[in-house]
Amino acid sequence: MTDLERTGSDHDDRADEVIAVRRGMFGVRGSGDTSGYGRLVRRVTLPGSTERPYGGYLDDLVDTLEDVLDERSGDTGVGYAQAVEKVVAHRHQLTVFVRREHLPLVARTLRDHADLRFELCLGVSGVHYPQETGRELHAVYPLVSITHNRRIRLEVAIPDSDPYVPSLYRTYPTNDWHERETYDFFGIVFDGHPALTRIEMPDDWHGHPQRKDYPLGGIPVEYKGARVPPPDERRAYT
């Protein structure tokens, strides 16, 4: 059992951000309801900002980050309020949402300060939320403190129309290939990366295959005289 579980503190559902409402089961439109789920209504939500206490060591961690950023704001010009957008404690994990222009500063602070010491970044993952207008693309960084045996996540949300995030290659060099993969699959451009090229798809590939607006692809198939269209032409998945 973790410290957070022992305190019973977790995310408050009342702070959820509703980004879409889905009706039916599979997002199918224009066909008869044969599933029995035609009247199903589901909210698509993202966890909102969490009020303190977060539980366990998480409060001390955020307090330390806030104190260090504010203490150094005279030199950097950036305090905690300018760098951090919100903090979410959800499913026994702490996520600090950082404004993209201040991501390198926050990452270096978490890595270098003796009371934080998040020496290891496990990479970066992309997420695509087409319904979250102005914040469609997210970059998520899981960090681990080997010294203190702690975990935290950094997350940056950016618009699809301006998909640029500062690279953390110089702070965490092992992010090299992870940033290339996230660029390849989601189209997030990591400014300052030494060689931001595709790593899985061919160099001349068009689009980014793990985005939710990317077509499923496939080729038409003939079966006993019937023509079966590609998956993305059969029904709409959302």
pLDDT in tens, 175-191: 999 999 999 999 999 99
pLDDT in tens, 207-218: 999 999 888 766
pLDDT in tens, 23-73: 777 665 666 666 667 778 888 888 889 999 998 899 999 999 999 999 999
> How does DSSP assign 147-188, residue by residue?
TTTEEEEEEEEE-TTS-EEE--TTT-GGGHHHHHHHHHHH--
For 88, phi then psi, to 5°, come to -125, 125
Q: Which residue has the tokens 């309020």?
A: 81
Separation CA 178–CA 181 (nearest Å): 5
Structural domains in the chain, CATH included, are 3-234 (3.30.460.80)
pLDDT of 4 > 60? The answer is no
The per-residue pLDDT for 220 is 61
Burial of 183 (0-12, 13-18, 19+ CB in 10 A): buried
The per-residue pLDDT for 183 is 98
Whether the model pTM is above 0.85: no
